A and B are shown apart, each in its own frame.
Chain A
Amino acid sequence: MSVLDWSVLVLTLLGVITYGIYRSRGSRSMDDYLLAGQSLPWYHVGLSVMATQASAITFLSAPGQGFADGMRFVQFYFGLPLAMVVLSVTFVPIFHKLKVFTAYEFLENRFDVRVRTLTSGLFLLQRGLSTGLSIYAPAIILSTILGWNIYWTNLLMGGMVLLYTVTGGTKAISYTHLQQMAIVTFAMVVAGFLTVRLLPADVGFMDALHVAGKAGRMNLIDLKFDANSRYNIWSGLIGGFFLQLSYFGTDQSQVGRYLTGESIGQSRLGLLMNGLLKVPMQFLILLVGVLVFVFYQYNPTPTFFNKQETDKLKQSQYAGAYQVAEIKHQNLAAQRQRAVADMQVALDADDEAGQNAAGAVLRQTDDALKTVKADVVKLIEQNNPAADTNDVNYVFLRFVLDYLPHGLIGLLIAVIFSASMGSIAAAYNSLASTTVVDVYKRLVRREADDAHYLQASRWATVGWGVFCIVVAQFANQLGSMIEAVNILGSLFYGVILGVFVVAFYVKSIGGRATFWATLIAEVFVVLSWYLDLTAFLWLNVIGCLLVVGIAWVLEMAMGRNANA
């Protein structure tokens, strides 16, 4: 990175943090600190919800996903608008009317203090650990590519957020979310625009889309129902709906965002704004990745985008085998360049048959390149069993560093920091509010003045910040980050969603049955994972259904009187 990049990075981040602290000055009560005094308009709520969900990995991984796998990942978000509608109808009015600080307060209202404490405890465990991983995941990529020390990168990533979350609370988070979303949107649009400009002079945006389409990257919709296919319209609409409902409905890092709305209407509008904008936003991020794919059809492509791993390979006993794979890769890349040139001629001549023929060669070459890459991945694994063999997260950053102009590189690194800070800040805040409201104020010190709880909230934020940074420092022991985050979520999300499903929709089930059902279901889910009984994504469904089913059976066995 040049001096200009460093200047842009530092000034952007300082600007965001200073603005957040400045706009949030004067938080004098717990309501101000944890819910921004429930004073925010819909666009604040909407952008804050979006910034919380969009982590750094979104902007590193999604373009890489578009590059490697095309546009089909967009289907994953089809369930989100439906979940926003259900939340607006059901969750938002109840949370607002009960004037709760956290989602788990509602559970005491509906069941009893045991269910509230157990559920908030499960949330704290899951969110505390996964926030540590959220700090580590982008930090390891930045440190690998830019040569930064991982421990200092973790500290910088997690520590900067503490500066404004401790002093300014939710209001600071919400104002910084606004800035972060503006920076992210601007930088991604410029990156997409410049990627098209980097294409050969006679290749325009529409030509690029045609090349991507013929190479199978504009695979936006898959109507076929296939349980083994991760992304199709049905898994997106049905699976995505349940996943987004549990995330936005029961995770305090999101509930805390839309509870800041000044009325039920403003909170609803914020969520519905997210429902309207999320799919187009993901479409555009994936499209940037697809444009990067088109760029590499005309330019030399690395065999594997994590250069550090291939450099290690060159120094190892596998150097010869790697060189053979490199030569194969170069020959195939040359073949692909000829096919893409044929495609351009066919596009200019409006020759449908020529386009299809060139498209077929492009797809064949693409498959052959994937086979060569798989061989290289095997060599990397043999050389270093602990190596990160998934280079999807490295594609976009590698492209940015190699081809985009100085200044914009600094801005895009700022985007990664901003996105990361946005989701980490919301997580710190949710951990602090749940600790103070559901544990400290409810179980430890019930009678104290507001100033005391405000101070406790600040200390809880510091405590969780330190905890998450410590977790991040040990996260390199866990292998694939994305999988680790998803496994961790799957161990708890399903069970927590089950508790809320019973609370909202099965009024006949009481607190005692729900408490024991939650405990039994959680033990079963953890055992299922430990004994490797099923793929981890199914643990979400199993956990939710187990809580509802066991609670119903226990309720029948114990009778309603037992709950009284």
Chain B
Amino acid sequence: MPDNPSGLPPFARSWPQLYAIVIGSLVVEIVLFYAIMSWLS
């Protein structure tokens, strides 16, 4: 099923790219949390 491009935010060109941003943000958060934990412990 083709993705409907309407409604996409300006920083994303397609839905798969937006999905990658959401998953990428999760990865960044996990890495950041690990760094904070290591720094403070």
CA distance A269 to B19 in the complex (A): 10
Chain B residues whose C-beta falls within 8 Å of the C-beta of A269 in the assembled complex: 7, 9
CA distance A283 to B30 in the complex (A): 11
Query: Closest chain A residue to B32 by CB distance?
Result: A220
Say yes or no: A42 contacts B7, CB within 8 Å.
yes
Q: Which among B4, B25, B30, B36 has the greatest number of chain A C-beta atoms within 10 A?
A: B30
Which of B5, B15, B25, B26 is close to A88, meaning CB atoms less than 8 Å apart? B15
Interface check A209, CB cutoff 8 A:
yes
CA distance A253 to B40 in the complex (A): 40
CA distance A268 to B7 in the complex (A): 9
Interface check A520, CB cutoff 8 A:
no
Which residues from 181 to 215 on chain A have a C-beta closer than 8 Å to any C-beta of chain B?
209-210, 212-214
Say yes or no: A213 contacts B8, CB within 8 Å.
no
Q: Which among A89, A219, A220 has the greatest number of chain B C-beta atoms within 10 A?
A: A220
Chain B residues whose C-beta falls within 8 Å of the C-beta of A263 in the assembled complex: 4, 6-7
Chain A residues whose C-beta falls within 8 Å of the C-beta of B34 in the assembled complex: 220-221
Contact string, A78-90, partner B, CB cutoff 8 A, digits 1/0?
Answer: 1001101100110
Chain A residues whose C-beta falls within 8 Å of the C-beta of B7 in the assembled complex: 42, 263-266, 268-269
Which residues from 1 to 28 on chain B have a C-beta closer than 8 Å to any C-beta of chain A?
1, 4-9, 15, 18-19, 22-23, 25-26
Chain B residue total in the interface (Cβ 8 A): 23
- With both chains docked as a complex, state the minimum distance between the C-beta of A224 and any C-beta of chain B, in angstroms: 13
Which of B4, B6, B30, B39 is close to A78, meaning CB atoms less than 8 Å apart? B30
Say yes or no: A264 contacts B4, CB within 8 Å.
yes
Chain B residues whose C-beta falls within 8 Å of the C-beta of A81 in the assembled complex: 22-23, 25-26
Interface check A454, CB cutoff 8 A:
no
- With both chains docked as a complex, state the minimum distance between the C-beta of B37 and any C-beta of chain A, in angstroms: 5
User: Which of A152-160, A271-279, A313-321, A510-518 participates in binding chain B?
Assistant: A271-279
Say yes or no: B40 contacts A213, CB within 8 Å.
yes
Say yes or no: B18 contacts A272, CB within 8 Å.
yes
Interface check A166, CB cutoff 8 A:
no
- With both chains docked as a complex, state the minimum distance between the C-beta of A39 and any C-beta of chain B, in angstroms: 14
CA distance A222 to B40 in the complex (A): 15
Q: A265-B4, A265-B7, A279-B26 are in contact. Are A218 and B41 (CB under 8 A)?
A: yes
Say yes or no: A214 contacts B26, CB within 8 Å.
no
Say yes or no: B23 contacts A221, CB within 8 Å.
no
Q: A221-B30, A279-B29 are in contact. Are A265 and B37 (CB under 8 A)?
A: no
Interface pairs (9), CB distance under 8 Å: A71-B33, A81-B22, A82-B26, A84-B22, A221-B33, A263-B4, A269-B9, A272-B19, A279-B29
9 pairs of A and B residues whose beta carbons are closest in the complex: A265-B7, A213-B40, A220-B33, A220-B37, A218-B40, A81-B26, A221-B34, A85-B19, A275-B22
Can you name 19 extra interface pairs (CB under 8 A) apart from A213-B41, A275-B26?
A71-B37, A81-B25, A85-B22, A85-B23, A88-B15, A212-B40, A213-B40, A216-B41, A218-B36, A219-B37, A220-B33, A220-B37, A263-B7, A265-B8, A269-B7, A269-B9, A272-B18, A276-B25, A279-B26
